[in-house]
Amino acid sequence: MTDPTATILNYFEALNAIPRCSLNEAKVCQWLQQWATRQHLSFQTDNGGNLVVPVAASPGFENAPTVVLQGHMDMVCEKTPASTHDFAKDPIVSHREGEWLTAEETTLGADNGIAIAYMLALAQDPSIRHPSLELLFTVDEETGLNGAKALQPDFVKGRILINLDSEDEGVFTIGCAGGVDTAMSLAIERQSTLPGGQLLDLVVGGLKGGHSGIDIDKHRANANKIMARALAQVQTVTPLQLLAISGGSRKNAIPRDANATIWIDAADKAAVENTVAELEATIQQEYAHSDKALFIKIHPAPAPEPADGALAPTSTDQAIRMLLSLPNGVYHMSSEIEGMVDTSSNLATVSLEGTKLTIVSSQRSASKSRLREITAAVHAVARLAGATAEDHDAYPPWQPQMASDLLSRSKRAYRMLYGQEPVIQVIHAGLECAVIGDIYPGMDMISLGPTIQNPHSPDERIWIPSIEKVWRFLAALLAEMQN
């Protein structure tokens, strides 16, 4: 292949023309099956929607062990507030900015579309010498590793797996955090707003957001927590009642925006505006290095529909105190690996419908016991507020295996190619390797990929020079599997 980067990006652009939000991967799966048919390759799907495509070994590699190359079909669909993009039908529009590829006001989908592009390019390039391969395309990774959870023990035969869902070239991931999501429901009471009041919209925005695991240690603001602070601060100068509140859109993304509609006494409007302005200045200073565009604004709101009513004062207080109290951010740092987050929580989404306030929190930890600890804290806050709490989409940690043969081969191949040692890491994010390792005991696994910044946000971008570096490494590693 004369220009592997161009070939890989061509596949990536073709993939980005197909809508593929989580739980909407059917068209992508069909596209991959059509590709396999054109390449005269067989394929198999399972009841979960996953797809595997076997690829025969190169001459001389027939006796080498099978290698599974794995990535997920779905992507996180995030966009800026001003974007009119419809993820159900519109293609992702990408463009180059110097050495970076990014998208127009949406997530780029390099997480994990670039993995699919690599797999297709490797399978159709006759110059790549490799053992028998199984190209494993999973579904619904981003909402809870659910495609991987649906895998059956006989779906793939290989016991060596290269996951292509990591985001720093030259860094090999050999372990990851486990996680669980907690959905909380608070029953609220509504009543009519009081006469002589002023309706105001409170808006938090301009935040950077990002991946709720990988970026949790970057001191980025959480829009839901800032909204809670703003509402509590307004309460110091006037009684208020909530009419509406929402924030965040994905449980695995740090929320970038939040909105609330409140009722206050009209006589206190100027005091409220001053209080919000002062808080905005304070929080902008707190996050000057991570969220330079952060803002908190308040302005008159349109009158609600006649059927709508404000939350009763008691329900308003319950909601604000609950949001203030829920843990968010880094909870424990690792005592074994310097600089690594061990346990964290992300106050992911808030929504108010009818007489129910729903809050979703996402907890992660490299330790099963500390995952239970932080989740218990979330449940405790919910109970104190009078809410119910239910856990969903739990997945285990992936424990690192430093004696892995695949890791040893990978380090040797990288060192021979680039004259330096790769970085070996355990990440604070969920990877399908954790689930796959449970289903296929003894699976030797590593995760790697090109450099991607700001996944799960409209600022997502991929560093183009890293694409070929990963390609060359994969080619060298697969060729080394003959020995």
Q: Is the pTM of this model over 0.85?
A: no
DSSP string spanning 135-190?
Answer: EEEES--TTTSHHHHT--TTS---SEEEE----STTEEEEEE-EEEEEEEEEE--E
Q: Considering 111, 134, 141, 169, which one is annotated as catalytic?
A: 141
Average pLDDT on 237-264 reads 94
DSSP string spanning 219-266?
Answer: ----HHHHHHHHHHHHHTTS-EEEEEEEE-S-TTB----EEEEEEEEG
273 is catalytic: no
Residue 90, pLDDT above cutoff 60: yes
Domains in the chain with CATH codes? 4-177+397-480 (3.40.630.10), 180-395 (3.30.70.360)
141 is catalytic: yes
Mean pLDDT of the chain: 95
Q: Quick one: pLDDT at residue 156?
A: 97
Question: Quick check: 218 and 268 in contact, CB under 8 A?
Answer: no
Q: Quick one: pLDDT at residue 40?
A: 97
- The per-residue pLDDT for range 191-223, each reduced to its tens digit, is 876 677 899 999 999 999 988 998 999 999 999
- Cα–Cα distances in Å, from 415 out to 168, 428, 470? 16, 26, 13
- The per-residue pLDDT for range 432-478, each reduced to its tens digit, is 999 999 999 999 999 999 999 998 889 999 999 999 999 999 999 99
Q: Quick one: pLDDT at residue 446?
A: 98
Residue 143, pLDDT above cutoff 90: no
Residue 101, pLDDT above cutoff 60: yes
* Dist CA 186 CA 320 (whole Å): 11
Residue 307, pLDDT above cutoff 60: no
Q: Quick one: pLDDT at residue 340?
A: 86
Residue 182, pLDDT above cutoff 80: yes
- The per-residue pLDDT for range 49-89, each reduced to its tens digit, is 999 999 999 999 999 999 999 999 999 999 998 999 999 99
Average pLDDT on 292-305 reads 89
Average pLDDT on 32-46 reads 98
Residue 306 pLDDT level (bands cut at 50, 70, 90): low
